[in-house]
Chains A and B, each alone.
Chain A
Amino acid sequence: MTEILPAEGVFSLLWVLIALPAAGALILLLGGRRTNTWGPYLGILTVVGSAVIAVLMLLAMMAEPAEQRTVIQNVYDWVFVGSFQVSFALQLDQLSIVFVLLITLVGALIFIYSLGYMAHDPDRRKFFAYLNLFVAAMLLLVLANNYLLLYVGWEGVGLASYLLIGFWQRKPTAAAAAKKAFVINRVGDVGLSVAIMLIFVTFGSVTFQDVFGQVGEANEGTLTAIGLLLLLAAAGKSAQFPLQAWLLDAMEGPTPVSALIHAATMVTAGVYLIARSNAIYNAATWAATAVVVVGLITIFMGAIIGSAKDDIKKSLAGSTMSQIGYMVFAAGLGPIGYVFAIFHLLTHGVFKAGLFLGAGSVMHGMNDGVNMRRYGALKGVMVITFITFMAGYLAIIGIPPFSGFWSKDEIIHAAFERNSIIGAAAILAAGITGFYMTRMVAMTFFGKKRWEDDVHPHESPKVMTIPLIILAIGSTFMGMALLFWGNIEYWLEPVVGYESVPTPLPTWVYIVVTLVVVIIGAIIGWVTYARKDVPIEAPRGNLLTRAARQDLYGDAINDVLVVEPTYKSAHALTTFDNKAVDGFVTWTASFVGDLSKRLRRSQTGFARSYALSMVGGAIILLVALILVRLS
Chain B
Amino acid sequence: MNFTPPAIDYFALSPMIVIFAAAIVSVLVEAFAPRTIRRFLQLLIVFGALLTSAVLIVLNAGTRTVTGGGAVVIDGPALVMMGTIVVLSILGAALMAERSIDPVGDSFAARASSLPGSEDERQLTQRGYLQTEIWPLTLFAVLGMLLFVTANNLLLMFVALEIISLPLYLMTGMARRRRLLSQEASLKYFLLGVFASAFYLYGAALVYGYSGSIFFPEIAQSLTSKPSESIVVFIGMGMLIIGPLFKIGAVPFHQWVPDVYQGAPTAVVGFMAATVKVAAFGALLRILYVAFGGVRWDWDPLIWIVAVASMILGSIVALLQTDIKRLLGYSWIAQAGFILVGLAAASPAGLESTMFYVIAYGFATVGTFAVISMVRDANGEATNLAAWAGIGRKSPLVASALSLFLLGLAGIPLTSGFVSKFAVFVAAIEAGATWLVIIGVIASLIAAFFYVRIVVIMFFAEPTEQTASVVVPSAFTTISLSAGVAVTLILGIFPQPVLDMLSNAGLFLR
Contacts and interface: CB of A to CB of B under 8 A. Distances in A.
B299 interface: yes
B258 A617 contact: no
A498 B231 CA distance: 88
Interface in B145-199: 187-188, 191-192, 195-196, 199
A254 B431 CA distance: 62
A448 B301 CA distance: 96
B361 interface: no
A83 interface: no
Interface in A588-607: 592-593, 595-597, 599-600, 603, 605, 607
B216 interface: no
Contacts of B320: 593, 596-597, 600
B238 A621 contact: yes
Interface string B380-416: 0000000000000000000000000000000000000
B10 to A, nearest CB: 40
Contact of A625 (B188, B199, B301, B313): B301
Interface in A558-595: 592-593, 595
A619 to B, nearest CB: 10
Interface stretch (A171-179, A382-390, A608-616): A608-616
A504 B191 CA distance: 107
Nearest to B199: A618
Interface string B465-476: 000000000000
Contacts of A501: none
B302 interface: yes
B252 interface: yes
Given A610-B188, A613-B255, A629-B231, A593 B196 contact: no
Interface residues of A, number: 26
A624 B317 CA distance: 25
The listed residue with most B CB atoms (<10 A of its CB), out of A592, A596, A621, A629, is: A621
B20 interface: no
B305 A621 contact: yes
A628 interface: yes
B458 interface: no
B192 A618 contact: no
A618 B242 contact: yes
Contacts of B235: 622, 625-626
Given A618-B239, A629-B298, A593 B319 contact: yes
Contacts of A622: 235, 238-239
Contact of A599 (B234, B305, B313, B446): B313
B256 A610 contact: yes
B339 interface: no
Contacts of B94: none
B306 interface: yes
A369 B288 CA distance: 82
A614 B252 CA distance: 6
Contact of B192 (A611, A620, A626): A611
Interface residues of B, number: 35
A622 B232 CA distance: 11
Contacts of A613: 252, 255
A630 B298 CA distance: 10
Given A618-B242, A626-B231, A629-B234, A607 B192 contact: yes
Contacts of B259: 605
A250 to B, nearest CB: 36
Contacts of A597: 320
B298 A628 contact: yes
Interface string B234-267: 1101110010001000011101101100000000
Given A607-B187, A607-B188, A614 B234 contact: no
B316 interface: yes
A611 B252 contact: no
A617 to B, nearest CB: 3
Contacts of A626: 231, 234-235
Nearest to A600: B317
Q: From DSSP, what is the main secondary structure of chain A's interface residues?
A: helix
Contacts of B255: 603, 610, 613-614
Contact of B252 (A595, A616, A629): A616
Given A610-B192, A629-B298, A621 B317 contact: no
A630 B230 CA distance: 11
B298 A592 contact: no
B302 A603 contact: no
A592 B195 CA distance: 32
A620 B306 CA distance: 11
A607 B252 CA distance: 14
B242 to A, nearest CB: 6
Nearest to A627: B301
Contacts of A607: 187-188, 191-192
Contacts of A625: 231, 234-235, 237-238, 298-299, 301-302
Given A610-B192, A613-B252, A603 B258 contact: yes
B316 A596 contact: yes
B258 A599 contact: no
B252 to A, nearest CB: 3
Nearest to B313: A599
Contact of A618 (B187, B238, B256, B297): B238
Contacts of A599: 313, 316-317
B302 A624 contact: yes
Q: In this complex, which of A603, A607, A611, A613 has the most chain B Cβ atoms within 10 angstroms of its Cβ?
A: A607
A604 to B, nearest CB: 9
Given A614-B253, A624-B301, A603 B239 contact: no
Nearest to B188: A607
Nearest to B241: A621
Nearest to A589: B449
Nearest to B235: A622
A608 to B, nearest CB: 9
A138 to B, nearest CB: 31
A629 B298 CA distance: 6
A597 B318 CA distance: 10
Contacts of B188: 607, 610
Contacts of A605: 259
A628 B242 CA distance: 18
Contacts of B299: 625
Given A618-B199, A624-B302, A628-B301, A596 B319 contact: yes
Nearest to A608: B191
A614 to B, nearest CB: 6
A485 to B, nearest CB: 55
A589 to B, nearest CB: 8
Contacts of B191: 607, 611
A620 B305 CA distance: 10
Given A624-B302, A626-B231, A617 B319 contact: no
Contacts of A617: 251-253
Contacts of B256: 610
Contacts of B253: 614, 617
A257 B188 CA distance: 73
A446 to B, nearest CB: 61
A614 B196 contact: yes
A102 B319 CA distance: 62
Interface string B314-338: 0011011000000000000000000
Interface string A356-386: 0000000000000000000000000000000
5 contacts: A610-B192, A616-B252, A625-B234, A625-B235, A629-B231
Minimum-distance CB pairs A-B, first 10: A617-B252, A610-B255, A596-B319, A596-B320, A622-B238, A596-B316, A607-B188, A628-B301, A625-B238, A599-B317
Interface of B: 187-188, 191-192, 195-196, 199, 231, 234-235, 237-239, 242, 246, 251-253, 255-256, 258-259, 297-299, 301-302, 305-306, 313, 316-317, 319-320, 446
Interface of A: 592-593, 595-597, 599-600, 603, 605, 607, 610-611, 613-614, 616-618, 620-622, 624-626, 628-630
Given A593-B320, A621-B305, 5 more contacts: A592-B446, A597-B320, A618-B242, A621-B306, A624-B302
